[in-house]
Amino acid sequence: MKRLLVVLVLLVAAACGLVVAAQYGVGPVVITKEGQQKIILIFGRPRAVTEPGVALRVPLLETVRELDRRLLYLNTPPSKITTRDQETLVIDNYAAWRIDDPVKFAQAFPAGRSAAEPQIDQVVRGAVREVVGKQTLAEVVTGKRAEIMHQITARTNQSLSPFGIEMVDVRINRTELPKTTEENVYERMKTERERRARKFRAEGEERARRIRAEADREARVIVANARRDSEIARGEGDARAAGIYAAAYGANPELYAFLRSLEAYRKTIGERTTLVLSPKSEFFRYLDGSSPDGERR
């Protein structure tokens, strides 16, 4: 019983020793943590790539190289780039990448990440300069910004794939104009806005003239139609009035003649009016007591 207990203690101690040794990179046990990937090398040649967990190696004959499995970031310093329309931009970007093939990466960069980042930075800068240089200022700033970043990512990924690197994304942080260029651009924008304002004002004035002319024409038509309708209505009224007068006067012609004579007197004879007429004039036939047929009353 004591011997079994001793054996168990020795086994536990050995296991603990192997785990501790594995933490320091020695011993036959290789422990790979989450976010890590390790290459087991035999005489400098890769034999296996470990996954998170426990693996075995031959001590002294095989060595282990640790690489990062996580997403890595690289900030690129700002650089000046000339666009297709000869505008200079100051562009600041960053790259998100990971080690896709640890064997290729280890062979390409024996010194590890510190040696890979300058290469990645150079490739990203070249892709940014190439893609942005084919675009105009407006396309870079607003119109095609997402498409431009997608093209840069694809070009960078294509260049770095042989080194075991996967370029996940390349993003433009900042896009600015140099001070001298900024003033020129603002001046051109101001001139363009003024030109467009003049164009819009001219178009508005032309439309206003057309609207006013159309309104004046419609007003003249409406007034002419109203005058025509009023003349027609007035003529119809006069005709109806004449008919009424004719019917009334036809019923008593003598009264009609008498009223017409009185109307003539009122319009002709006023204050201090002197008329020189024959006493037998037809005009005064009702003033001397005679009837229209010559009979005296």
Architecture of domain 72-177: 2-Layer Sandwich (3.30)
| H-state helical runs in 167-288 | 179-251, 253-268
Whether residue 289 has pLDDT greater than 60:
no
The answer to pTM > 0.75 is no
Confidence of residue 60 (pLDDT cuts 50, 70, 90): low
What is the Cα–Cα distance from 127 to 151, expressed in whole angstroms?
A: 9
| pLDDT tens-digit map of 109-135 | 888 888 999 999 999 999 998 998 888
Q: What residue spans define the domains of the chain?
A: 20-68, 72-177, 253-297
163-219: pLDDT as tens digits: 999 999 998 887 777 766 667 777 878 888 999 999 999 999 999 999 999 999 999
Give the rounded percent of residues in the chain with a pLDDT score beyond 90.
23
Predicted local confidence at residue 123, as pLDDT: 92
| pLDDT for residue 96 | 92
d(CA 24, CA 200): 76
**pLDDT tens digits along 92-108:** 888 999 988 888 888 88
Lowest mean pLDDT segment, chosen from 21-30, 100-109, 158-167, 259-268: 21-30
Q: Which two tokens stand for residue 89?
A: 């931009």
Distances (CA, A) of 202 to 64, 128, 139, 213, 215: 78, 43, 30, 16, 20
- Comparing CA positions, the residue from 46, 38, 41, 44 lying closest to residue 22 is 38
Helix axes 145-160, 113-132, angle to 10 degrees: 140
